[in-house]
Chains A and B, each alone.
Chain A
Amino acid sequence: AQSVTQLDSQVPVFEEAPVELRCNYSSSVSVYLFWYVQYPNQGLQLLLKYLSGSTLVKGINGFEAEFNKSQTSFHLRKPSVHISDTAEYFCALKRTDTGRRALTFGSGTRLQVQP
């Protein structure tokens, strides 16, 4: 079985400050990793994904994440946040084999950017 743990349910931060949203995962098989963002009353939008290769992944809106296999982590970072980054962020994984197509999500981290 696979699971995703997002260690912080809420992260308050001031505008233009850096932010890190933490994600740890557990899996007995190899996985792909994803970060999605959800704005109020909207669906999920893909920020970035790790499939293979470089462990530092760059995504949209200035976000990046680093895959750390030894620590089973995939933390999301942004060097300078904007008010518009206020949203819910979800870390997710999917098996690399074709046995199961479903995404497994964490419970989310609410990023609150204050002026």
Chain B
Amino acid sequence: DTGVSQNPRHKITKRGQNVTFRCDPISEHNRLYWYRQTLGQGPEFLTYFQNEAQLEKSRLLSDRFSAERPKGSFSTLEIQRTEQGDSAMYLCASSTQNRGSGNTDTQYFGPGTRLTVL
């Protein structure tokens, strides 16, 4: 069990450029989540996948943001036409569905990708 990994760890880009982040969940975790954390705040939910299906999307996920999990394993988060307000830490988490236990699964977080938009 190698934990959740995210790449890159840091990304500096110019306003208007597109960026893509990758998340590799804990193996065999079928649920994957993206959160955004701005300076001095707690993480805010962006989106959730169960296997390859994107089941929840936050209002924070504007049309410039898109997330995919094509084979139900790793996921990518793309931001198009970045803005300075997109500067944040982007966190990925994964969990595994516990049979018959409702919503009790624990989310395990990766180290995050810190995005700086100049």
Contacts and interface: CB of A to CB of B under 8 A. Distances in A.
Contacts, number: 63
A90 B42 contact: yes
Given A32-B104, A42-B111, A45-B109, A105 B33 contact: no
B106 A43 contact: no
Interface of A: 4, 32, 34, 36, 41-46, 49, 51, 90, 92, 94-98, 100-108
Interface of B: 4, 31, 33, 35, 40-45, 48, 55-56, 58, 91, 93, 102-104, 106-112
30 contacts: A34-B106, A36-B109, A41-B111, A42-B111, A43-B91, A43-B109, A43-B110, A43-B111, A43-B112, A44-B91, A45-B109, A46-B108, A90-B43, A94-B103, A97-B103, A98-B102, A101-B33, A101-B56, A101-B103, A102-B48, A102-B58, A103-B35, A103-B107, A104-B45, A105-B43, A106-B42, A107-B42, A108-B40, A108-B41, A108-B42
